[in-house]
Structure 1
Amino acid sequence: MTNQKKSCWTCKARKIKCDRGVPTCQRCVRSGLECQGYAPRLSWPRDNDRKRTLTVDLPTRAALRRGSKVRFINTTAKDVELYRHLAYLTLQQPQFLVRPTPSLLKKPQFVVRNMDLVHYFHADAHLSLVAFSPNTSDIRDALIRMAFASDTDSGRALLYALLAVSALRRSGFHEETLQFKVAALHALSKSSGIASLGTTESVQHVAACMLLGAFEILLPSDSSGEWIWYIRGAMDIIRETQLTKAGTEADINILLDWTYYHYSLSTFTISHWRNKAVILDSSPNPTICEPVGGQDTLVAIDKQLFRSPNPTHEILNLLAEACDTLLSRSDPRSQEDSYKEHLKQLEQRIESIPVTPDMAADGAELSGLIKLYKLSTLIYVIRAGQTTWESTTRLDNLVNRAFAIPVKQPGCYHFFPLFIVACEARTDEQRGAVLDLIARTEGYTFMRSMKMLKAGIEAIWVQRDLHADSDLLMNYMDLMNVVISSNTTLPSFV
């Protein structure tokens, strides 16, 4: 079928006559080249091109309201600055993609009693907690039981942290919310001073850290990147008190699964973060990790990896291992045969993970999530091992399979697989489907802010378009580093 009035972008770049075949030019197929299609795209004007600008008739607001499928991806000065940073590897950090909402204290709409907040947490606020399991009711029930298990400093810390999250979800960030958070931190500080924590106190301490981390993830402010200190603090307590050997108590296992999930996803962010200081407290006494040094100090990361004992979380273990293994193209070790062989073995281990877990309380929903994480992690590892961002038949098949999972769902609550898969979108239809999915997900009242995630995805799209006609070879890892670091705070991809 031939009904195009112009040549495909590939033939145009080669300066040859195009047969204008739809959907793919047969000249490109016979030459073994990727046909870049006919859709409009961003490109740099050539030096000898006198036609510096193109104008189009924009649809009216009324037309857009009537359901027009026209979408716009704007290229701004920030995108161009990001492009130049990638092109010339400048030392200056590009401007931030998204600036969080200022943390202005708001008056609560009404004063509520503490137990009212506990009931609200049970009924509604717990839905905003993110875990690998699609069902957070088990975490909710375990946290409430732990909070009232004993009247100790660690128990009060957990209760105040629970009230802080509930108040934040109910009325926003106001004076009462801040008071609950400060009270939780004060109780945690006192609990940390105890020479030896018992099992109950250790579990409460970990749970309080996790809730404070969730609080920071839910709050889009300049300090919301501090979630990493609470997650790593919880992991320190688990390690020092050996909670993994505390037996098979259900509440402890639920808490450990929740903590391991956040820890595994944090390794992805940390491996690409090139902005502010990330110095972790690795002192022998379990406490809350706190940042040290100014914004310009170098990144120092505790590389010790912790594996989840839950077999359902094996894909998360491999994701954390991949983030710890992958090297930048500027690292000479990335050219060694041993490194390339390690990546191949890692890919094989990811592919061998069974999609259906042995013990899955949530059945098909959890199996679909494992499949999505498996595909997105495999795409990430393959891309990171490439010298340039190029397409292969294997990658195209993986991307198509991954796209088929979330885009038709009512929402996608896990940021990492959505981010990895969305970055692979090339056509207007794929990108539109991603934007529609994000819009549907944002429609749920319990969802956390997706502004940073959406800004990062669109930044990746723009850079891919800007590099399409350039001789510059775009590297996947470099682009991930720059885009993820172009935030005012450490982004969370849970």
Structure 2
Amino acid sequence: MHTNECWACKDSRVVCNRARPRCSRCAKSRRPCQYGLRLSWPKATNTKRSLTHSLQDVVGTAKGFSYTSFVNATSWDVQLHDYLRMNQGLGTRKGFAFRKLDPPMGLSWLPINLGYEDRELLDHFICMAPSTLAIFDPDKNEFLGLLVRLALSDSSPSSTAVLQSALALSSFHRHGLQADVFRFKARALRALVVSCNSPTVVQHIAASMILCHLEMLGMPDAVSLWFCHLSEARRLIDNAGLDNQSFQGELSRLLDWVEYHMVMSRFSHRHWYIHVEPIRAISDLAPVKQGTCHSRKVESASHCSHEILRHFYIMFEMIRKPTDSLYHSDEYENSLRCLENRITNIVPLTPEGISNTISSLSPAWTATTELFKIAALIYLKRASRNFSGTSPEIDAMAERGYILLDDLETFNSAFPLLIIGCEARTDEQRMRSLGHVERAMKSSSLRSLQGLQNILQQIWVQDDLAVDYELDYLSRLDAVISSYRIMPSFV
């Protein structure tokens, strides 16, 4: 049984102001205040809903009714039930061929004390984190397990920061922007400040990245705080050094997590803030040179790092504007041709070093990698020559991308959806692209996906208004993306 009022006010039949975590009546009377689901017990005179045992027989004479604990169904229980139904063939889902059926992770141990509401939020975090956080990780369950262990490992300020940031993200994802989100976020930030004296670098990085995703959900900020948290995570890695023992084994996944976001943020840097003085964190990023330390850093970050990230970073830094003096040089042309060949020859396979337990995930991972590969080639061909006209080769690649998106159950990465969606010229193609974005939004609440719909439609409108001419590819992206007050993220 579910009600919007707290159960104490519901049972007393009084008006509840529905304040969280405790309503005003319960706070004034100092009584427990609980929301959510509760099993209802029928009255003895109710013949339609009979009990085989009396409540006294079940809970014993020593306990009164007011001390009876109720069994509640959480989001984890619902996900487990869905897993059981699908494995028994009792339900089908379109595009389910690429998904491996694994039971959801449960919290088998809790070394810290969690209230019921916090426990429920953590259960919800476990359900939503794989699709929201593990965007470019081939083994989402292992990545989620790492975050949960970092949050619950002990009661240190660093672990507390991970836990509170996870609760803030889960609360925002589940209930929207409410006071609890700011309360959890404030606790996480305070814990990070305390942990600066003796920081545990892996927990500090994990908390910063979760807060980065929290800002991406749509926090009301005047600046791009998501990039500030991302820069903090990168600074911690740079200060610790890639050879630090903290990043060995499974903890190297944190490097991949940060590296993916840093590489994809370069796209935002290229097309946003073109007429505004860049913020300090952005201006501190040095341009890449062939064979530089950053390129080597991506390569040696961990066994999970994929070579396509290295090519993405070089591509975002290599592409020059038509006004550049080297734009028409042979050296620039040869570099573009070499990079295109390297991206074309990428074999979309599961990275070496990943455990064999995810071998059945390889079709989805292969399709994901190929979508990034297609998006990189389309962007390279168009942006490097500022070309926005029709091309049979690009049209074929875009169609291949549509087919892969149709086969995948979920795909939440904004950059491939944007680049492939920009190629939609007919109403049928555009409805197809919007359908892919809407499907991604159902499994992820990232603001980048919500804003992606508007960006695509704005680009399509500009294409339609250009009747007898073609708009410059780079100028079109710059103008649309720079029209947003907050720097968009395309992770």
Give the TM-score normalised by the residue count of structure 1.
0.68
Q: Which amino acid aligns with 2:481?
A: I
Q: More deviation in 363-372 or 223-232?
A: 223-232
Kindly report which structure 2 residues correspond to 1:33-432, keeping only aligned pairs within 5 A, or say none: 108=20, 113-125=117-129, 127-133=131-137, 135-194=139-198, 197=199, 201-219=200-218, 221-223=220-222, 225-246=224-245, 249-274=248-273, 278-281=278-281, 301-303=285-287, 305=294, 306-309=297-300, 310=303, 313-359=306-352, 361=358, 362-432=361-431
Q: Which amino acid aligns with 1:462?
A: V
What is the distance in 1 between the residues matched to 2:350 and 2:407? 23
Partner secondary structure for residue 306 of structure 2: helix
Q: Which amino acid aligns with 1:174?
A: Q
Q: 1:160 to 1:247 in 2, by over 3 A?
A: closer
Q: 1:126 to 1:178 in 2, by over 3 A?
A: farther
Query: Where does residue 474 of structure 1 map in the other structure?
Result: 471
Deviation at 1:308, TM superposition (A): 4.6
What is the distance in 1 between the residues matched to 2:330 and 2:219? 43
Q: Which amino acid aligns with 1:492?
A: S
What is the distance in 2 between the residues matched to 1:358 and 1:484? 33
Q: 1:358 to 1:143 in 2, by over 3 A?
A: closer
What is the distance in 1 between the residues matched to 2:373 and 2:453? 22
Query: Where does residue 448 of structure 1 map in the other structure?
Result: 446
Q: 1:248 to 1:134 in 2, by over 3 A?
A: closer
What is the distance in 2 between the residues matched to 1:243 and 1:114? 35
What is the distance in 2 between the residues matched to 1:237 and 1:383? 36
Partner secondary structure for residue 405 of structure 1: helix
Q: Which amino acid aligns with 2:185?
A: K
Deviation at 1:193, TM superposition (A): 4.1
Q: 1:302 to 1:155 in 2, by over 3 A?
A: farther
Q: Which amino acid aligns with 2:172?
A: L
Q: Which amino acid aligns with 1:477?
A: L
Q: 1:142 to 1:409 in 2, by over 3 A?
A: closer
Deviation at 1:399, TM superposition (A): 2.2
Instruction: Provide runs of 4+ in structure 1 moved above 6 Å.
Output: none
Q: Retained in 2: the 8 A contact 1:226–1:490?
A: no
What is the distance in 1 between the residues matched to 2:396 and 2:128? 39
Partner secondary structure for residue 335 of structure 1: coil
Deviation at 1:135, TM superposition (A): 4.8
Q: Retained in 2: the 8 A contact 1:108–1:171?
A: no
* RMSD (Å) for aligned C-alpha atoms: 2.6
Query: Where does residue 484 of structure 2 map in the other structure?
Result: 487
Question: Could you report, residue by residue, the CA deviation over 1:112-138 in whole angstroms, capped at 9, with x for unpaired residues?
Answer: 543333233223455422420265332
> Which of the pair is proportionally richer in helix?
2
Q: Which amino acid aligns with 2:176?
A: G
Q: Retained in 1: the 8 A contact 2:173–2:445?
A: no
Deviation at 1:351, TM superposition (A): 0.7
Partner secondary structure for residue 333 of structure 1: coil
Q: 1:346 to 1:416 in 2, by over 3 A?
A: same
Q: Retained in 2: the 8 A contact 1:274–1:482?
A: no
Q: Structure 1: state its 5+ residue gaps.
A: 1-105, 282-290, 292-298
Deviation at 1:311, TM superposition (A): 5.8
Higher relative contact order (CA 8 A, sep 6+): 1
Partner secondary structure for residue 489 of structure 1: coil
Query: Where does residue 4 of structure 1 map in the other structure?
Result: none
What is the distance in 1 between the residues matched to 2:225 and 2:169? 15
Identity of aligned residues (%): 28
Deviation at 1:192, TM superposition (A): 2.6
Deviation at 1:412, TM superposition (A): 2.8
Query: Where does residue 436 of structure 1 map in the other structure?
Result: 435
What is the distance in 2 between the residues matched to 1:254 and 1:207? 10
Q: Retained in 2: the 8 A contact 1:411–1:438?
A: no
Question: Could you report, residue by residue, the CA deviation over 1:327-369 in whole angstroms, capped at 9, with x for unpaired residues?
Answer: 1222222222211211111111111111223546321100011
Give the TM-score normalised by the residue count of structure 2.
0.68
Q: Which amino acid aligns with 1:398?
A: M
Q: Retained in 2: the 8 A contact 1:222–1:488?
A: no
Q: Retained in 1: the 8 A contact 2:135–2:412?
A: no
Deviation at 1:432, TM superposition (A): 1.8
Deviation at 1:382, TM superposition (A): 0.7
What is the distance in 1 between the residues matched to 2:178 and 2:299? 36
Q: 1:387 to 1:127 in 2, by over 3 A?
A: closer
Q: 1:338 to 1:429 in 2, by over 3 A?
A: same
